[in-house]
Structure 1
């Protein structure tokens, strides 16, 4: 056999080996991706990673946005919301009005107003007949925080700030009672005036307690409602006692 005859045979043998290698690689890739041939994406199923924003959600975000809203409209809307919450407190009923759109502006205004009215004289006066501003502020907010923590520990379903909102707004009847007592004390200070003040404060105390429990009672487990209502009763009782025992300086 000559070298000329062996050369074509070597070439054909190499071609056969290369063909076998290619066939093995193709068969391996087919086995690897065999399961992908049965996968199909339906036209009804949205593909993840879509960056387009639906028109409905975009318009809803624009409606809820207040970036382009004038400051006057924002303030008026917030004042209307606070006024509606005051109405719900003065006419208490089982409602979620104070829980859906909670805020702390109303409680802050009521707390400051009550503290100012309980300020019987100048801050430096030792003959001041009422507690100082900081004392009232701390008692109101610290008491509300303690009641809220107690409610959460008992298994309450409302959030921390929702509870603070309800407790703060329900001080409104007691703030009205304080205003009436101040007017009565300006007129005269005698036994009849004290009895009228006692009736007014007791009525507003009951009003505040009933209003707060109307909003908070349903958030507590039925077998623990008494444990949740009792601190609320004490909270408003302390505030009522400060109002009733208040005497302005000089009396």
Structure 2
């Protein structure tokens, strides 16, 4: 009986030491990152939208950045994964190759300019927005003018029921590209996006003058809430990946769950 009791105490002491050891290890890891170099990033694990990402990761801004990925899973669901990622991996750009098993990464973006900056990457749906809301930065109509950095557009509007979100890149020789955000008629957008996708299919792997010219001019529409955040060209590439994977509704221009 005494021998059994001693064995039980020995096991408990071992578990206690293990727990304490792990706790000190974690404390040591975070203690190694000076406060000035800590970058808080939104942590997403197979999230459907931003409200599913309820935690933050503490990254080392000297070697890491925040990232967000839009993933098409083997079960044909669109999910988002985000957190910390090495700067070296972030330099690799947007991968479109097959990842784990039959998963397709449709978008992968990084940022390090501010805490929580990855909450506006890869088209993840923002918190507290509805389907009919769109980013709205247009000098002729909005209280906020067109911007030279997509991050600067913070104005939202509720579009009419026959409209969806739109974004337009304006290019002026000798000046920075500006981005105009707003609402556009659904019928016009359906025709526009059909032509955009057909053009991209035709230009895949081709370096003709016509295809190169498209890299400057851009107009894009999308049907989900606040989906028109980003550089028009980046958004176009993301929507094209969804469309080719059969995950974009041609009529509503919304991502198919």
Structure of greater Rg: 1
TM-score over 0.5 (shorter chain): no
TM-score, with structure 2 as normaliser: 0.22
Flag the structure with higher helix content: 1
Higher strand share: 2
